[in-house]
A and B are shown apart, each in its own frame.
Chain A
Amino acid sequence: MVRLAENKHHSENKPAQRLPSPFKAYIPLIQHLGKLCNPEVRVGDLVRRGQRIGNIAAHVSAPVHASISGKVMAITDWPHPVLGRAKTIIVEGDGQDNPVEFRQRSQPEVDKLTAQDLRGIVLDAGIVGMGGASFPTHVKLNPAKPVDTLILNGAECEPYLTADACLMAEKTAQICASAALIARCLEIKNIYIGIEKNKPEAIKAFSNQPGIKVKILPADYPQGGEKQLIKNILGKEIPRGKLPFDIGVLVQNVATVNAIYETVYLGKPLIERIVTVAGSCLENPANLLVRVGTPIKELIEFCGPLKEPPAKIIMGGPMMGIAQYTDEVPVIKSSSGLLLLNKKEAKCLNEDPCIRCAACVRGCPVGLMPCQINLASEKLLWNLTKEYGASDCIECGICNYVCPSNRRLLQTIKRAKLEVVK
């Protein structure tokens, strides 16, 4: 655990502004962990907002929906924020924004839903984990063992990001209703929400909600990591190699829970989300409500003018986000933030020899010795990296962050993780 400069004040407590829908939407057929979707439309087809245009080809997958109405222009390889390039459906808008009919549900209807119904609705809406990992939510709502605790993840520990904080303050009632629904369907007794203490608005909003226990967490990174969150709230650890449901816990990001509400009650599939746009290059950092598929250059334009040209554009937070090679990439379901760093901030530092200061050892939130794995990995000693527990790495990046020698610890550990699996 390490305390980072938060840099959240740029966009903090700013209500989410709606970004005008894009003229063209770029909907990747893969926005989740798992299999690529099969396109359900052909070039030239007319689509409506919210219409399913790609369906699942395997259980671990999630369908994708058109986020604007218009005509399918192409189904082609396109820049993707996570995968580099991926098969993408390009929809050219007609300016009408005509929606499909959204199936709304009243409270009595919702009260009759079973766990199976809920999973079906969530699957149809294409909901995935919106905190970054983008694991299909319908799979997560089907734990292999009974769970008794639901933890809502509102930690948002990455610097700069305020999208979840913004959502928690604005959509408190929706999040609570959705959490209660999940709890009822999965027969969960305890609901917690973990919020870092640097989000007083969100803490206030949730502190008087019946049935939800607020846990105020220290503002240390990576508080929002599943393992750290569970340890801090429940005081227990997930045994090595196991998943949260093995100890009876289900963790859901607050944005995901809100998306479930909007699907179940309002009938809306996951076609928009809040994105924090921030960084020293921008004149007007903001939280934007953005249609999935909007190219990031439109977000940047909206928050402009630019104070200086960005040297690095990051999708996500500065610790775990992914550097983009082009501003043509679209926002996808898991895009929580967009950061524009200037030349000075993006400067690549030279690597020095390890001086064994052990800053990485003290900082590692899962108790690894990153410097040792790094040395073993550089010598291609994969068995040794395994012995040092490389596969337990959660890739939070603290080791790189604290290293006075600027060693690329995380990169070499990631490599070791891949080699250990082989």
Chain B
Amino acid sequence: MINNLIVSGSPHIHKPESVARIMWTVVISLIPALIAGVIIFGANALWVTLAAVTAAVLTELILGLCTRKKVTVFDGTAVITGILLAFNLPSEVPLWLPIVGAVFSIAIGKAVFGGLGQNIFNPALVGRVFLMASWPKYMTTFTLPFNLDAVTSATPLAALKEGKVLEHISYLDLFLGKHGGCLGEVCILALLLGAALLFIKRYISWHIPFTYILTTGVFVYIFGGDKLFSGDWLFHILSGGLILGAFFMATDYVATPLTARGQLIFGVGCGLLTAVIRLWGGYPEGVSYAILMMNATTPFIDRYTKVRIYGTR
């Protein structure tokens, strides 16, 4: 007779998949952009990222221990939050800035809502707008690429906002990241490489990123020029944090809609808000706020975009 049989409900097999596997893959997908950031802005980019990641992981660990919850540091989500926050900072910020931001991201952006899976806003963006509101000077002082003397420069979007004439920044330079900006957002090529990995692994779908980028592009093309239908849509797609935001932050599972239809609405919403802020708002850049505002609408979108159940109309 066979003894000690395990009895459990069906199903009895499981797909070889886990939260940790997904999250660490996302971490890997961000590495090309980090390498690009270090090449373009120097070792500071690395130190800022490491500071943010360490602070995020330690905050997660300490809060987990204090609240006697299951320790979730090893699932990689805190690492992602740290990296994404750092990617949204200039490379020349003092090192306490990413640390403060990361602590805020994890503690206020995630833990107070109940930890993994509960946050209604993207934690990294919560940290970023907190830093933006508290230390705007640090947050908007950018350095020229490949310039170790840290000469400050404006981002292309900021220059545009101030009405300055853009000096010889080609689309190729924008694509490769040879311009001022946050350390992880400038190199579109590296970001797309990482995004490709997530697509291949089917961890993200096209619904949000493509509608987001398309909507921003179309809106800017229509309204962004001197007259209608003359906006420089390609410039807007390639500059600022749009690519980083569309592929890595607007696709955050937790704070985005569940269904394909909901995700399309979410993407369009992000695209519209980004374009509106960039063209007519007070900030040169609108990606962070656009995503955060759409995060807030997610429960509402979810409620009205249920899937059609078999046998119903």
Q: A residues engaging B (CB < 8 A)? A: 4-5, 159, 227, 231, 237-242, 297, 300, 309-314, 318-328, 339, 341, 345-346, 348-349, 352-359, 361, 364-369, 371-372, 388-389, 392, 395, 397-398, 400-402, 404-406, 408, 410-411, 414
Specify which chain A residues have a CB less than 8 angstroms from the CB of B22 in the assembled complex. 355, 357, 404
Contact in complex: A402, B17 (CB < 8 Å): yes
From B1, B5, B13, B21, contact of A345 by CB (8 A)? B13
A residues near B256, Cβ cutoff 8 Å: 356
CA distance A357 to B10 in the complex (A): 22
B253 and A367 form a contact (CB under 8 A): no
User: Known contacts A353-B116, A356-B117, A361-B307; is A369 also within 8 Å of B259 by CB?
Assistant: yes
Assembled-state Cα–Cα distance A352/B117 (Å): 9
**Is there contact, CB below 8 Å, between A365 and B259?**
no
In the complex, the chain B residue whose C-beta lies closest to that of A281 is B2
Determine which residue in B2, B22, B256 has the highest number of CB atoms from chain A within 10 A of its CB, and name it: B2
Complex contact A367–B308 (CB within 8 A): yes
- Contact of B13 with A159 in the complex, beta carbons under 8 Å: yes
A364–B307 touching, CB < 8 Å: yes
Kindly supply a per-residue 1/0 record for chain B positions 114-132, scoring 1 wherever the CB is within 8 Å of any chain A CB and 0 otherwise. 0111100000000000000
**Interface-centre pick from B9, B13, B17, B256 (highest chain A CB count, 10 A):** B13
Whether the Cβ atoms of A369 and B307 lie closer than 8 Å is yes
**Given A357-B253, A358-B259, A369-B258, A318 and B11 touching (CB < 8 A)?**
yes
Q: Which B residues, 68 to 118, have Cβ-Cβ distances below 8 Å to chain A?
A: 72, 75, 115-118
The total of interchain contacts (Cβ-Cβ below 8 angstroms) comes to: 159
- Asked if B264 lies at the interface with its beta carbon under 8 angstroms from chain A, I say no
- Is B259 touching A389 in the complex (CB atoms < 8 A)? no
* Residues in B39-64 with C-beta less than 8 Å from chain A: none
Residue of B nearest to A392 (CB): B309
Q: Is the CB of A369 within 8 A of B311?
A: no
Which of chain B's residues has its CB closest to A340's CB?
B2
Interface pair A239/B311, CB less than 8 Å apart: yes
Chain B residues near A (Cβ < 8 Å): 1-2, 4-15, 17-19, 21-22, 72, 75, 115-118, 253-254, 256, 258-259, 302, 306-312
Question: Which residue of the partner chain, among B5, B15, B116, contacts A355 with CB atoms under 8 Å?
Answer: B116
Contact among A4, A240, A355, A395 for B309, CB-based, below 8 A:
A240
Taken together as a complex, chains A and B put the C-alpha atoms of A397 and B9 apart, in Å, by 10
Would you call A323 and B1 a contact (CB within 8 A)?
no
Q: Is the CB of B312 within 8 A of A401?
A: no
Q: How far, in Å, is A83 (CB) from chain B's closest CB?
A: 14
- Contact check, B311 vs A388: say whether CB atoms are below 8 A apart: no
Jot down 27 A-B pairs with beta carbons below 8 A, ordered by A. Answer: A237-B310, A239-B311, A239-B312, A311-B6, A312-B5, A318-B10, A319-B13, A321-B10, A321-B12, A346-B12, A361-B258, A361-B307, A366-B310, A367-B308, A369-B307, A372-B258, A372-B302, A388-B306, A389-B309, A395-B10, A397-B11, A400-B10, A400-B14, A404-B15, A404-B19, A405-B19, A406-B14
Which of chain B's residues has its CB closest to A411's CB? B9
Answer whether A371 and B15 are a contact pair too, CB < 8 Å, given A313-B2, A358-B253. Answer: no
Minimal Cβ-Cβ distance residue in A for B203: A357
> How far, in angstroms, from A357 to B117 measured CA to CA in the complex?
10
Assembly CA distance A78 to B86 (angstroms):
64
A320 CB contact (under 8 Å) in B10, B302, B306, B307: B10
Q: Are B1 and A341 in contact (CB under 8 A)?
A: no
